[in-house]
């Protein structure tokens, strides 16, 4: 490896977004580590901690009165924040503690769709081998109801072509459930192309946007999506405990969840056990008492995303990914990433026979990165620097050059 080449820092991206680096000071984690793992967990901004302190102070001062004076308002504000991130009003959002719960609620309503036309029921759900397990598991768990999960393979390990979906979606398909951005590869899907395909053939499209929300400017209605779920762990810098669900308003009206809780009730505070009238907005798909401390934390992250702006975050993140790919190519490392900036979000991987030892060796030098089978996964965010990226590539190149961690055998350029 030529150290000089790897260390020749291209600061073009930084020069394009010099203003963004001032936000680094808000993240103590960035002073403590060289953090390149936002696709797993976004760093905690100071304002997230301040919001959590605000929650604790209200609890200390007000007890249960905090619900009516502050906490219900905070939950409504969080729905607005989520709506803003996908170009919809907050009234169309259902809060959930994680994506799995959001999926369980909507899957319970889709059981009726699966039963549908008794003569020709639509029993199939299509997902892909690159999707997050919890997405497919919702429908694997419904095997006893006759629901069948079809998992499309990825020919190149990076994405699944639209043609593969086209070949699979037919009159037996109730739903296509897949990611906006694949969580191991960062590949951005052609969501509107998928929506068109689904609707031509009478299927619904559910998108798991966990690796897109806050990072990819999104107008969910214009994409033609039917159901959209996401959460705050990663590119919304809001930590665990918060996710959301959006349904196309006509679909929301048409569907009835069979897994529910009292926050979905139109008259929640009448405490009438004998009647259930669902709220006529997004709350129809909510469950029980929300994780309020998490909601406060999430509002801190959302405030940051709103201030920085999703367009700027997107541009900067894609720049840093391109920088990583360029340096890794120059160092002769086996990059596994989408080369087209327009189709790559926040993830770039380097193939490795033994990713665990590379991640461990990087940790010894202060880097936090992640691994998946066969790859070391990097996800620089808007708050990272070109220098951090270059230093990480440099260490990987050094490790792979030594015989301790041999690179994988030559494969196709993916
Ligand atoms: C694409 C994707 N979906 C879902 C999740 C998480 O799902 P849940 O909120 O149910 O834990 C993650 C990561 O944790 C993810 O990357």
Q: Is the minimum distance from the CB of 380 to ligand 1 under 6 angstroms? A: no
What pLDDT score does 409 carry?
43
For residue 10, what pLDDT is reported? Answer: 55
Q: Is the pLDDT of residue 411 over 90?
A: no
Cα of 293 vs centre of ligand 1, distance in Å, is: 20
Amino acid 5: pLDDT: 41
Say if ligand 1 is within 6 A of residue 259 CB: no
Pick the atom of ligand 1 nearest to 103's CA.
10
Is the C-beta atom of 322 inside 6 A of ligand 1? no
What value does the mean pLDDT of the chain take?
Answer: 93
Looking at residue 120, its pLDDT comes to 73
State the pLDDT at residue 414: 33
- Judge contact between 243 and 307, C-beta under 8 A: no
Separation CA 243–CA 407 (nearest Å): 38
Is 151's pLDDT higher than 80? yes
pLDDT tier at 375, thresholds 50, 70, 90: very high
Distance CA 51, CA 65 (A): 18
Q: How far is the CA of 18 from the centre of ligand 1 (A)?
A: 31
Q: State in Å: Cα 406 to ligand 1 middle.
A: 31
What share of the chain in percent tops pLDDT 90? 87
pLDDT of residue 69: 87
Distance of CA 42 to the CA centre of its chain: 11
**pLDDT tier at 117, thresholds 50, 70, 90:** confident
CB of 237 closer than 6 angstroms to any ligand 1 atom: no
Ligand 1 geometric centre to CA of 170 (Å): 28
CA distance 223 to 81: 19
150 CA → ligand 1 middle, Å? 20
259-318 per-position pLDDT tens digit:
999 999 999 999 999 999 999 999 999 999 999 999 999 999 999 999 999 999 999 999
pLDDT at 217: 98
Residue 404 has a pLDDT of 52
Question: Is 99 near ligand 1, meaning CB less than 6 Å away?
Answer: yes
Closest C-alpha among 403, 396, 394 to residue 8 = 394
Q: What local confidence, expressed as pLDDT, does residue 9 receive? A: 52
**Percent of the residues in the chain that have a pLDDT greater than 70, as a whole number:** 93
Mean of the pLDDT values across residues 321-349?
A: 97
Is 70 exceeded by the pLDDT of residue 84?
yes
Cβ contact 242:302 at 8 Å: no
Whether the CB of 235 sits within 6 Å of ligand 1: no
Q: Is the pLDDT of residue 3 over 50?
A: no
In the predicted structure, residue 391 carries a pLDDT above the cut 90: yes
| Cβ atoms of residues 194 and 221 within 8 Å | no
**Does the pLDDT at position 410 exceed 50?**
no
Query: What does the alpha-carbon distance between residue 241 and residue 291 come to, in Å, rounded to a whole number?
Result: 6
- Which of the pair, 119 or 199, is modelled with greater confidence? 199
pLDDT category of residue 76 using cuts at 50, 70 and 90:
very high
Q: What is the mean pLDDT of residues 141-152?
A: 95
In short, whether 40's Cβ falls inside 6 Å of ligand 1 is no
294 lines ligand 1 (CB under 6 A): no
Pick the residue whose CA is nearest to atom 7 on ligand 1: 99
For ligand 1, the distance from its centroid to the CA atom of residue 409, given in whole angstroms, is 31
């Amino acid at each position: 490896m030529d150290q000089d080449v790897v260390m020749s820092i291209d600061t073009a991206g930084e020069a394009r977004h010099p203003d963004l680096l001032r936000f680094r000071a808000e993240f103590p984690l960035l002073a403590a580590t060289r953090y390149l793992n936002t696709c797993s967990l976004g760093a905690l901004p100071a304002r997230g901690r301040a919001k959590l302190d605000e929650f604790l102070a209200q609890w200390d001062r007000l007890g249960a009165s905090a619900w009516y004076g502050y906490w219900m308002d905070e939950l409504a504000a969080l729905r607005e924040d989520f709506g803003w991130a996908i170009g919809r009003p907050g009234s169309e959002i259902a809060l959930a503690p994680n994506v799995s719960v959001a999926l369980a609620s909507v899957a319970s309503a889709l059981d009726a769709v699966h039963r549908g036309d008794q003569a020709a029921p639509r029993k199939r759900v299509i997902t892909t081998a690159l999707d997050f397990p919890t997405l497919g598991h919702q429908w694997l768990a419904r095997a006893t109801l006759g629901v069948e999960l079809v998992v499309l393979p990825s020919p190149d390990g990076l994405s699944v072509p639209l043609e593969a979906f086209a070949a699979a979606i037919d009159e037996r398909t109730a739903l296509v459930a897949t990611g906006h951005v694949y969580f191991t590869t960062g590949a951005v899907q052609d969501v509107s192309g998928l929506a068109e395909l689904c609707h031509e053939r009478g299927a619904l499209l559910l998108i798991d946007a966990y690796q897109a929300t806050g990072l990819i400017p999104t107008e969910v209605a214009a994409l033609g999506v039917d159901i959209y779920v996401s959460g705050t762990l990663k590119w919304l810098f809001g930590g665990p405990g918060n996710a959301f669900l959006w349904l196309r308003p006509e679909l929301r009206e048409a569907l009835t969840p069979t897994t529910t809780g009292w926050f979905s009730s139109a008259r929640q505070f009448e405490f009438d056990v004998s009647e259930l009238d669902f709220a006529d907005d997004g709350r129809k798909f909510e469950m029980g008492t929300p994780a309020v401390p998490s909601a406060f934390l999430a509002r801190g992250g959302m405030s940051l995303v709103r201030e920085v702006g999703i367009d700027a975050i997107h541009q900067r993140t894609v720049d840093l990914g391109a920088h990583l790919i360029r340096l890794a190519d120059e160092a002769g490392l086996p990059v596994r990433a989408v080369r087209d900036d327009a189709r790559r979000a926040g993830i770039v991987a380097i193939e490795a026979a033994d990713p665990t030892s590379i991640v461990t060796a990087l940790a010894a030098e202060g880097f936090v990165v992640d691994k998946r089978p066969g790859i070391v996964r990097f996800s620089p965010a808007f708050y990272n620097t070109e220098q951090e990226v270059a230093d990480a590539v440099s260490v990987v190149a050094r490790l792979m050059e030594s015989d301790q961690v041999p690179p994988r055998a030559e494969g196709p350029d993916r």
